[in-house]
Structure 1
Amino acid sequence: MSFLVNLGLGLLFGFGLLISGMANPAKVLNFLDLFGTWDPSLAFVMGGAVLVGAIGYRYVLRRDEPIRGQSFHLPTRRDIDARVLIGPAIFGVGWGLGGFCPGPALTALSFGAIGTLTFVPAMIAGMAVARLVAERNNTARAA
């Protein structure tokens, strides 16, 4: 059942990306082009997502326990370390250069665009390298 719920949520997210135009890298790049063909629509999409997320977060946390599962799994760390700064910086630079972030890139695969066919394998390779580095660091810390 969990698979079907996750599949449905993923499809809903993908359709939202398509409807909003966020699967189009030109839309993202135009948002970042402040002194050229600036397109503020991405700010409205992000603002809408933050609003829906904030309302949903407050609603869900009023419950004693989640609908599925024993307890909520909320972050406990509040400190800001190098990983918190470097990871999002790399993500942002990649998004700015490529015009894609992971969700829209996977959605745009259905169009078969050359940029997407290059970006997604590079993204997967980057995720694999990040996982290897994290595992190596965890092993080093444990030893």
Structure 2
Amino acid sequence: MGYIAGLIFGLGLAVSGMTDPARVLGFLDVAGAWDPTLMFVLGGAVVTNFIGYRLVLRRPHPLLGERFQLPTRTDLDGRLIGGAALFGIGWGLSGYCPGPAFASLGGLTLPLLAMLVAMVVGWFLARAISARG
């Protein structure tokens, strides 16, 4: 089911044009040629998720599982804030976040490849740092 959900997510990104880094960078350019498209895509995702969670969590258990696996932590720590900051910086510099980056693999370009390599290296670095301390 996770694979199917990922395919639907990638299809939604492609249909909405969110695999185009210029569109994302246009959204971040509030002082220039601002493109509000991303705001509408994010708003649609928030509304869909809000309704979907309420409908699904009425069930006693998932269709293909024994129990729901929901996050339990509610605290903010340095790792979370640092990771969010790095995510935002990388997104702003490249115009890609992980979902659209993977959805764009069919049209691989040098900037996309650089972003994907940096992301994978970051995963391994985060794991190594986490294991040390």
TM-score, length-scaled by structure 1:
0.87
The answer as to 2:98 corresponding to 1:86 is no
The answer as to 2:11 corresponding to 1:15 is yes
The answer as to 2:115 corresponding to 1:122 is no
2:63 to 64, 67, 89: 67
* Gapped regions of structure 2 (runs ≥ 5): none
CA–CA distance in 2 between the matches of 1:8 and 1:79?
A: 31
Letter aligned with residue 63 of structure 1: R
Return structure 1 stretches of 4+ with deviation > 6 angstroms.
none
RMSD of the alignment, in Å? 1.2
Equivalent in the alignment of 1:44:
40
Bigger relative contact order, structure 1 or 2 (CA pairs below 8 A, ≥6 apart): 2
Report the structure number with the largest CA radius of gyration. 1
Letter aligned with residue 108 of structure 2: G
Shift of 1:84: 2.3
* Gapped regions of structure 1 (runs ≥ 5): 138-143
Equivalent in the alignment of 1:140:
none
1:40-90 Cα deviation digits (max 9, x unpaired): 000000000011011111111111111122211222222222122111111
CA–CA distance in 2 between the matches of 1:123 and 1:44?
A: 26
CA–CA distance in 1 between the matches of 2:127 and 2:85?
A: 17
CA–CA distance in 1 between the matches of 2:24 and 2:37?
A: 9
Shift of 1:136: 2.2
Equivalent in the alignment of 2:106:
110
CA–CA distance in 2 between the matches of 1:70 and 1:25?
A: 39
Task: Give the 3-state SS of the residue equivalent to 1:11 in structure 2.
Answer: helix
Q: Percent identity?
A: 50
